[in-house]
Amino acid sequence: MVRKAKVEFDESPPDFDPNNPYGDPVAMLEYREYLVREKFIQIETAKIIRERLRWCYRIEGVNHLQKCRHLVQQYLDATRGVGWGKDSRPHELHGCRYADRSLPDIFAKNRPSAID
C-alpha cells in the first residue's frame, strides 16, 4: 500500500472578488468552502501534533521539558488562530469587527489622585 505524498486541493476560486463578495454568489460559496476546508486541515494538523506530544510526554517521563520542547512549540504555533469563533471569521467577507465602533475609555473616570 502506497501513500500519496500530499493531497492537492483546488486553490481559492479564481473568479472571487474580495471587494465585491456578493457579486458572484457561486464564487462566494466556493470561497467559503475553500476557507472551511483549510480550517479543517489546520485543526487536524493540530490534532496530529497533539497526539505526538502526548506520546512524547509518556515516553520521556521527567525529561519531557527538554525532550518535547520542539513539539510544544509546534503545537502552540498550530493552535494559534485555529477555531470557529467569531474572532476568527474571515475579514474579507464580513469586514473588520471593530471598524465602526470606538472602544469605551474605561480609564476616563474621575479618580482621586491621592488617598487622603
| pLDDT tens track for 90-106 | 555 555 555 555 545 55
Would you say residue 93 lies in a domain?
A: no
Mean pLDDT of 61-83: 87
Distance of alpha carbon 53 from alpha carbon 70, whole angstroms: 9
Rg of the chain over Cα atoms, rounded to whole angstroms, equals 23
| Residue ranges making up the domain that contains 33 | 25-85
Would you say residue 32 lies in a domain?
A: yes
Would you say residue 7 lies in a domain?
A: no
Would you say residue 95 lies in a domain?
A: no
Would you say residue 92 lies in a domain?
A: no
Domain count, the chain: 1
Joined grid coordinates for residue 92: 474579507
State pTM to two decimals: 0.59
